[in-house]
Amino acid sequence: MTQISAAQKPVDGSKALYGGKGTRRITVRDITAAKERGEKWPMLTAYDAMTANVFDESGIPVMLVGDSAGNCHLGYETTVPVTLDQMVMMSAAVVRGTSRALIVGDLPFGSYQEGPVQALRSATRLVKEAGVGAVKLEGGERSLAQTELIVQSGIPVMSHLGLTPQSVNTMGYRVQGRGDEDAHRLLRDAKAAQDAGAFAVVLELVPEELAAEVTRSLQIPTVGIGAGAQCDAQVLVWTDMMGLTDGKLPRFVKQYAQLRSVMGDAAKAFAEDVVGGAFPQAEHAFH
Ligand code: KIV
């Protein structure tokens, strides 16, 4: 009998991460099972309860409270200034706004670089105070000890490789893993993250061929952003993919809506109604 590969097997609809029938909160064990089934899944960022609630109702199975909130939500130029207190506050809001999605809280710059003990203390705050189901941190081999201790303490870790925005001051924003040496380093980092116990690896701005090789080499899923179509999962920053972000977007972003013009037009219509006396009307008033 011809063997079918995991990637060709039909997904059991009741178990599927997206479109599945389960109503309990998704765990990292469900993520591991999805890789075994060869099932692809979507992840979006979220920074507040209301947006997270919309995505939860739409069936998005994994949400990342990313430190991209720095640029997309808090008005900073980079992710570097974001604090752990801010991440705890936003993560708690996202957890409150959802009932099914696995919520991953980002460890911000300065909250884990000092070493494993600092990393565990920060991860513990995200779990105890915000209620996230997992944390994410940047770096493979350089964050090995941190990943190991957090995982051994019972907190699932998602690793982040390739372009790591917290290192913007040394790395800049450019494709990573080009050339043999850099590609081998990235592959080594991915395996190190897996060996340290990470349950998934984000690959940001990496050549598609390299992301495909990493995806084939790992037992844990890869989550691509600007890393081509071969990753097990894809993540986008929600304000980018909904057309809310101002200015030029990276080439890897696909826009699924134009919220910036929808919201701008609604704000102008309201302003014109107020100025022209068309709002409020009788049905909006109390007597
Ligand atoms: O902070 C973030 O949103 C991220 C994603 C881009 C993966 O790290």
Tokens matching residue 25: 């909160």
106 in Cβ contact with 64 (< 8 Å): yes
Would you state the pLDDT for residue 10?
61
**What is the Cα–Cα distance from 140 to 146, expressed in whole angstroms?**
10
Top CATH class of 13-256 equals alpha beta
Residues of the chain with CATH 3.20.20.60: 13-256
pTM score over 0.85: yes
Residue whose Cα lies nearest atom 5 of ligand 1: it is: 66
Determine if ligand 1 sits within 6 Å of the CB of residue 138.
no
User: Which ligand 1 atom minimizes the distance to the CA of 66?
Assistant: 1
Determine if ligand 1 sits within 6 Å of the CB of residue 64.
yes
Asked about 39 being catalytic, the answer comes back as: no
Would you state the pLDDT for residue 1?
43
Q: For the chain, which residues score pLDDT lower than 50?
A: 1-2, 4, 6-7
26 in Cβ contact with 61 (< 8 Å): yes
- Tell me the CA–centroid distance for residue 30 and ligand 1, in Å: 21
**What is the Cα–Cα distance from 96 to 25, expressed in whole angstroms?**
12
Ligand 1 pocket test, candidate residues 65, 132, 138, 235, most atoms within 8 A of CB: 235
Measuring CA to CA, how many Å separate 142 from each of 182, 193, 282? 15, 10, 64
Would you state the pLDDT for residue 153?
98
Task: Count the Cβ atoms, other than its own, within 10 Å of residue 176.
Answer: 21
Spatial CA neighbour of 145 closest among 183, 116, 184: 116
Determine if ligand 1 sits within 6 Å of the CB of residue 224.
no
What is the sign, positive or negative, of the torsion defined by CA atoms of 114, 125, 60, 196?
Answer: positive
